[in-house]
Amino acid sequence: MKSTGLLVDCGAPPTGDSHTDCHKVIMPVRDALDVISGKWKLPIIIAVSRGHNRFRDIERSIPKITSKVLSKELKDLETHKLIRRTVYNTQPVQVEYTLTPYAATLESVIVALQQWGLQHRKKILGK
């Protein structure tokens, strides 16, 4: 799911009636999904929020992620202002990834997904 701009072009909103109500929910949800959907973005945000701030540390904390994918997703998250990359000119150079304050606004999304995922797993695995 790739869009050109920062917000989703949902086309012309259907005028009036029952569609409008629907559209008012669909559009914001699509805006949000555009930023955070995909296999890796939220796991990365969670890992960084739990104190995994170095590249290899994040990589190790997320099962099955590869360095190539991590590198690309970190760049995406940086352009969406959810993660900040800081380079310290130590010897050798040390790179630290931290969440921006803006990323904290995703907390309710993460909590909702975590809780739904938990009960879903219980439901699927026999209960």
Partner DNA sequence: GTAACCAGTTTCCAAAAGGTAAGTGCTTTA
Partner DNA sequence: TAAAGCACTTACCTTTTGGAAACTGGTTAC
**Nearest distance from C-beta of residue 121 to DNA, angstroms:** 19
Phi/psi for 6 (5° steps) reads -85, -20
55, interface contact from a second copy, DNA, none, CB < 5-8 Å by kind: DNA
CB 54 within 8 A of CB 83: no
By a kind-dependent CB cut-off of 5 to 8 A, residue 124 interacts, out of a second copy, DNA, none, with: a second copy
H helix and E strand count, the chain? 5, 2
Closest distance of CB 60 from a second copy, Å: 7
Cβ atoms of 83 and 77 closer than 8 Å: yes
**Token digits for 65?**
């992620």
Q: How far is the CB of 75 from DNA (least distance, A)?
A: 7
Instruction: Give the closest residue to 82 by CA, choosing from 30, 29, 36, 24.
Output: 36
Nearer to DNA, 85 or 121 (CB): 85
Q: What is the distance, to the nearest Å, from the Cα of residue 3 to the centroid of all Cα atoms in its chain? A: 15
Q: Which residues bind DNA (CB under 7 A)?
A: 1-2, 38-40, 54-57, 64-69, 71, 73-74, 85, 91-95
69 binding partner (options DNA, a second copy, none; Cβ < 5 to 8 Å by kind):
DNA
Least distance from a second copy to the Cβ atom of residue 91, Å: 20
